[in-house]
Amino acid sequence: MISIKDLSKVFHTKDQDVRAVDKMDLSIEKGEIFGVIGYSGAGKSTFIRLLNRLEEPSDGNVTIDNQDVTKLNKNKLRLARQEMGMIFQHFNLLWSRTVFDNIAFPLEIAGMKKEDRKNRVNELIDLVGLSGRGGSYPSQLSGGQKQRVGIARALANNPKVLLCDEATSALDPETTDSILDLLVDINNKLGLTIVLITHEMHVIRKICHRVAVMEQGQVVESGDVLDVFLYPKQQVTKRFVDQVMGDPDRKHSLELINETYKTGEIIKLHFVGESTNQALISELSRKFDVDINILHGKITQTQKGAYGTLFVQFNGDKGEIDRAIAYIKTTSVQLEVSPNV
């Protein structure tokens, strides 16, 4: 759907040349939510603005649905941009226009008739959960509601792609979650491809299918969100994963937990993908005569299933514990055992 090849952007300033995006290659599939994460200055904003040529590339290509965006003349670019909605950190609404008129704006530009426009705007207002607020001005709305207007406006011309430039960075955690839920809802309902940039791993975890990690203008790591959470390779990626998970391996190693809990067997369970849905712990306590204590752990949901670690203590008859352990080995849950002696 989107193919990015050798994409570079160099800013020429008085003092120096800044290579904000440096030979980026990426491929984004139709209908997926693709996240690009990086710290401040990594080049994320420049990257996303290159996709619709709000920034002109210095080198390379961006192909969207077999159309090379970098080669389009002004008129064709204007039409191509109608296929690429965009939302922004600070919403970029027109403050003197109502919610209705903000959403109608791109339809006016596209030349849609007044009656059709009215129907389309009302449809969009319902889609983003702002029914009854069409007559309000942006100043009368909360941050989350402003972003909903931004989303409705971005979707007005039925784009194929939605670009999100730090769309939740100005919002509190609860409002962030409600906007992320809305994006997932829209992705499901409309099959829209979503490309987002963020510095928050929570955003990636909650809604993205795949992720690329950027550092100094380059993609240093990419893959399925669950894989990147499980096997982060680069230091920068490990820091992002720690943002969400903490670091259970470092702070709560089996050895450390063993020092605290002196009886039974301490077991570290690692859940990946769908496996948490098996409700393993209740199954174990039903099937085996073993006392199970949950000691510590963190399990989190991603778009591709659950992922996390749980430390449990098994007390009881050794043979029964061994049978329970043998049973766990038949499931998709990975385990490490550390017997207390």
Phi-psi region of 122 (alpha: psi -120 to 50; beta: other; left: phi over 0): alpha
41 is a contact residue toward ligand ATP (CB under 6 A):
yes
From the list 13, 16, 73, 75, which residue makes contact with ligand ATP (rule: CB under 6 A)? 13
Rounded least distance, CB 22 to ligand ATP, Å: 10
Taking the C-alpha atoms of residue 144 and residue 228, their distance in angstroms, rounded to an integer, is 29
From the list 35, 43, 85, 308, which residue makes contact with ligand ATP (rule: CB under 6 A)? 43
Which of these segments, 43-51, 57-65, 227-235, 331-339, binds ligand ATP (CB under 6 A)? Answer: 43-51
From the list 45, 102, 147, 168, which residue makes contact with ligand ATP (rule: CB under 6 A)? 45
From 51, 84, 52, 46, select the one nearest 193 (Cα to Cα): 84
Q: Which is nearer to ligand ATP, 88 or 100 (CB)?
A: 88
Rounded least distance, CB 299 to ligand ATP, Å: 30
- Measure Cα distances from 150 to 120, 255, 297, 335 in Å: 15, 51, 38, 46
From 32, 17, 1, select the one nearest 210 (Cα to Cα): 32
From the list 22, 26, 46, 99, which residue makes contact with ligand ATP (rule: CB under 6 A)? 46
From 272, 318, 262, 270, select the one nearest 293 (Cα to Cα): 262
Contacts of 12 (CB under 8 A, 6+ apart): none
From the list 42, 192, 226, 266, which residue makes contact with ligand ATP (rule: CB under 6 A)? 42
Total interface residues for ligand ATP by CB under 6 A: 13
From the list 44, 120, 146, 148, which residue makes contact with ligand ATP (rule: CB under 6 A)? 44
| DSSP summary character for residue 89 | T
Q: Which residue type sits at 171?
A: L
Rounded least distance, CB 43 to ligand ATP, Å: 4
Q: Which is nearer to ligand ATP, 18 or 254 (CB)?
A: 18
Rounded least distance, CB 191 to ligand ATP, Å: 28
Residues comprising the chain, all counted: 341
Question: Restricting to residues 199-238, which ones interact with ligand ATP according to CB under 6 A?
Answer: 199
| DSSP summary character for residue 277 | G
- Across the strands, what pairs with 19? 10
20 is a contact residue toward ligand ATP (CB under 6 A):
yes
Q: Which is nearer to ligand ATP, 11 or 231 (CB)?
A: 11
Nearest 5°: the CA angle 32, 37, 43 is 115
246 is a contact residue toward ligand ATP (CB under 6 A):
no
Which of these segments, 39-47, 110-118, 148-156, 187-195, binds ligand ATP (CB under 6 A)? Answer: 39-47
From the list 35, 38, 159, 264, which residue makes contact with ligand ATP (rule: CB under 6 A)? 38
Per 3-state DSSP, the chain is made up of helix, strand and coil in percentages (nearest 5) of: 40, 30, 30
40 is a contact residue toward ligand ATP (CB under 6 A):
yes
What sign does the CA torsion over 159, 26, 307, 196 have?
negative
268 is a contact residue toward ligand ATP (CB under 6 A):
no
The contact set with ligand ATP (CB under 6 A) reads 11, 13, 18, 20, 38, 40-46, 199
